[in-house]
Amino acid sequence: MKEEELKEEEIEKQEETAEEAKVKEENSTEASEGADDGKKKKKKKDKTSAAEEKIKELEDKLLRQMAEFENFRRRTEKEKTQMYDMGARSVIEKILPVVDNFERGLAGLTDEQKADPFAEGIDKVYTQLMTELSGIGVVPIEALGEPFDPELHNAVMQTETEEYESGTVAQELQKGYKYHDTVVRHSMVAVAQ
């Protein structure tokens, strides 16, 4: 019976040893899984932060490109407007001598000649031309009786007159014109002394 008891004790010891080994194995597995989980979490965090950085970098790049495009669009629009104004100004400069000839021709007519249908037609063409020019922003510069302004007037002579005080435009020899607040042609004037 003692042998049986010894065998049972041995079996119990072996079972306890097996259980302890099993528990140790489970503990080590859990520890290694915990370590693996920690590594996995760290890798996941690293990937997330790297992705966030990449997103921020791409957003910044996109914003810069959008701003660059907007600046390009504005610059192009400004250049287009300047080119249009330069072309319009060039055409206006070429039309002004025609306007001067209309004015000289109409000023040289007598009252009798002004009643002629041909002269009336010429006057209407001149009026229409001036209306169209004013419609696109071309306006004559006021000169007679105004103080001399070198930005608007070109003084070609001085004259003595009692009608106007010194430094005032006494006579307009050729009309000047402005296009959108820019002088296309200065008024040619005589200034009172």
Looking at residue 75, what is its pLDDT?
Answer: 96
> What is the domain-level CATH number for residue 192?
2.30.22.10
- Compute the average pLDDT of residues 170-192: 92
- Which carries the bigger pLDDT value, residue 20 or residue 29? 20
- Which carries the bigger pLDDT value, residue 123 or residue 7? 123
User: Does residue 41 form part of some domain?
Assistant: no
Looking at residue 30, what is its pLDDT?
Answer: 57
Average pLDDT, the chain: 85
Residue 191 CB burial class (10 angstroms; 0-12, 13-18, ≥19): buried
Looking at residue 7, what is its pLDDT?
Answer: 67
Number of independent structural domains in the chain: 1
Answer for the pair 160, 193: CB distance below 8 angstroms, yes or no: yes
Reported as a single tens digit per residue, the pLDDT across 36-56 is 565 666 677 777 888 899 999
- The three-class DSSP label of residue 154 is strand
User: Does residue 167 form part of some domain?
Assistant: yes
Looking at residue 36, what is its pLDDT?
Answer: 57
Confidence of residue 190 (pLDDT cuts 50, 70, 90): very high
User: Does residue 50 form part of some domain?
Assistant: no
User: Does residue 152 form part of some domain?
Assistant: yes
Identify the domain containing residue 176 by its residue range.
Answer: 138-193
User: Does residue 169 form part of some domain?
Assistant: yes
| Conformation bin of residue 40: beta by default, left when phi > 0, alpha when psi is -120 to 50 | alpha
Reported as a single tens digit per residue, the pLDDT across 93-146 is 999 999 999 999 998 888 889 889 999 999 999 999 999 999 999 999 999 989
Model's pTM, two decimal places? 0.60
C-alpha 54, offset from chain centre: 30
* Sheet with 182-185: strands ordered across: 138-140, 177-179, 182-185
Tell me what percent of the residues of the chain surpass a pLDDT of 90.
52
A 10 A CB-CB count for 119 gives 16
Looking at residue 178, what is its pLDDT?
Answer: 94
